[in-house]
């Protein structure tokens, strides 16, 4: 009953996801990076951009009154959440199976400036010693583990919202 009433208000679901994305970004940037002193690795930066895009797409879906636009922004958010989950899963795998030769490698911007995109993107997903390092954990999970969990939750919530939203509820 509570879940049905939640999905009857898709704009609230989208706005809540956008707010959660903003809170997670604030935690990562303001606390983990600026207070704790953790520098993000290339895969962390890719996940950060994916989270920004998920949040922006959900905010735009929440602001749009038309169901077609909500579906468009929602599906774009699902696609980006899937990409973010893939990146987080790859980083988690690197953390569980670190490379034998741990090198710091280049940062994301150095890769993009120095190499064409078709070479830089595989380098990002190959990972480096920085990407396999576990610098912070919460309840036994690393930042990459928690990113994966939240990207999957966001994608599932959006898909359920799009599937269960009745046509007349698009303006709620």
CATH number at residue 93: 1.20.1550.10
Reading the block at residue 10, the tokens are 């898709």
> What is the predicted pLDDT for the residue at 80?
94
pLDDT, residue 27, reads: 85
Residue 20's domain comprises: 2-98+108-167
Whether pLDDT at 128 is above 80: no
Assess whether pLDDT exceeds 70 at residue 25.
yes
Structure tokens of 1? 């009953």
How many domains are there within the chain? 1
| CA-angle at 52, arms to 51 and 56, nearest 5° | 115
More confident: 1 or 81: 81
172 in a structural domain: no
Distance between CA atoms of 104 and 141, rounded to whole angstroms? 22
**Do the domain assignments include residue 88?**
yes
The verdict on residue 120 lying in a domain is: yes
Looking only at Cα atoms, what is the longest distance across the chain?
57
Using the predicted structure, report yes or no on whether residue 170 has a pLDDT greater than 60: no
Distance from C-alpha of 128 to C-alpha of 131, rounded to nearest angstrom? 5
Six token digits for residue 6: 């939640």
Mean pLDDT to the nearest integer, 140-169? 81
Could you write out the DSSP letters of every residue in 87-122?
HHHHHHHHHHS--SS------HHHHHHHS-HHHHHH
Can you tell me the distance from the alpha carbon of 29 to that of 146, in angstroms, rounded to the nearest whole number?
Answer: 15
Query: Is 60 exceeded by the pLDDT of residue 108?
Result: no
* Kind of pairing between the strands at 141-142 and 137-138: antiparallel
Residue 75 to residues 23, 68, 80, 158: CA-CA distances in angstroms? 22, 11, 9, 8
* Most confident listed range (21-25, 117-121, 168-172): 21-25
Contact assessment for residue 58 and residue 17, using Cβ atoms and an 8 Å cutoff: yes
| pLDDT > 50? residue 150 | yes
Model confidence at 146, pLDDT cuts 50, 70, 90, reads: confident
User: What whole-number percentage of the chain has pLDDT above 70?
Assistant: 66
Q: Does the structure show a pLDDT above 70 at 165?
A: no
Name the token pair of 93. 């795998």
Residue at 128 is within a domain:
yes
Q: Is residue 103 part of a domain?
A: no
């Amino acid at each position: 009953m509570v879940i049905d009433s939640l999905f009857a208000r898709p704009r609230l679901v989208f706005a809540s996801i956008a707010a959660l994305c903003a809170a997670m970004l604030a935690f990562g940037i303001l606390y983990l990076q600026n207070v704790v002193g953790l520098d993000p690795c290339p895969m962390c930066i890719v996940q950060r951009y994916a989270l920004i895009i998920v949040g922006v797409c959900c905010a735009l879906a929440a602001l749009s009154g038309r169901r077609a636009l909500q579906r468009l922004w929602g599906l774009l958010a699902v696609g980006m959440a899937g990409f973010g989950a893939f990146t987080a899963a790859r980083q988690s795998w690197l953390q569980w199976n670190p490379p034998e030769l741990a090198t710091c490698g280049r940062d994301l911007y150095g890769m993009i400036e120095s190499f064409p995109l078709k070479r830089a993107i595989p380098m990002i997903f190959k990972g480096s010693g920085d990407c396999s390092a576990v610098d912070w954990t919460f309840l036994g999970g690393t930042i990459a583990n928690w990113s994966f969990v939240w990207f999957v939750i966001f994608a599932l919530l959006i898909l359920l919202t799009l599937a269960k939203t009745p046509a007349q509820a698009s303006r709620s």
